[in-house]
Amino acid sequence: MESRADRLKRLIRLQKQIKGLHETRHAQHLTEAARARQDATELLEALNRASPLPGLFPDIYNRRIGAAVDREEQEVLKAQQEAHLVAKATARTKFVEQAWREAAQLEERAEEEKAQLEILERKFTASK
């Protein structure tokens, strides 16, 4: 039968994987937000330049700039949500690690007590 410490150790590994997933998603959202900001900046620069194409279709450029800014805001919001999930996963992991340490200490103490009782039993039976 698997001990409590072993089960908690497996849970710690799982919690760390979940935390890693949230960290990855957080980084992806930040990357997407930066990409959207770059798109908006490039479109704005093209609109402000004296090139003929943006002058012919300013509405299209303005819509695309607005869409890029909106996309950036959405990605930043998603990144904040993932950062919150990372914090929660970190807290859960720390909690489980503490429980694992306590369970390992209890198991170690129980094994030591059992060994001491066996030594005393042997001494008691040997002296009879």
pLDDT tens-digit profile of 67-93? 999 999 999 999 999 999 999 999 999
7 pLDDT higher than 80 = yes
Structure tokens at 120: 């005393």
Contact 16, 86 (CB under 8 A): no
Tens digit of pLDDT for each residue in 92-104? Answer: 999 999 999 999 9
Contact 12, 95 (CB under 8 A): no
Tens digit of pLDDT for each residue in 12-44? Answer: 999 999 999 999 999 999 999 999 999 999 988
Angle separating helix axes 4-48 and 58-127, nearest 10 degrees: 170
**Residue 120: per-residue pLDDT:** 87
**Residue 83: per-residue pLDDT:** 97
Which of 84, 70, 68 shows the shortest CA–CA distance to 26? 84
**Residue 93: per-residue pLDDT:** 95
50 pLDDT higher than 70 = no
46 pLDDT higher than 90 = no
What is the pLDDT confidence band of residue 128, given thresholds at 50, 70 and 90? low
C-alpha to C-alpha distance for 53 and 65, rounded to whole angstroms? 15
Contact 122, 69 (CB under 8 A): no
Is 0.85 topped by the overall pTM?
no
C-alpha to C-alpha distance for 64 and 84, rounded to whole angstroms? 30
Which of 37, 126, 31 shows the shortest CA–CA distance to 78? 31
Amino acid identity at 90: T
Amino acid identity at 10: R
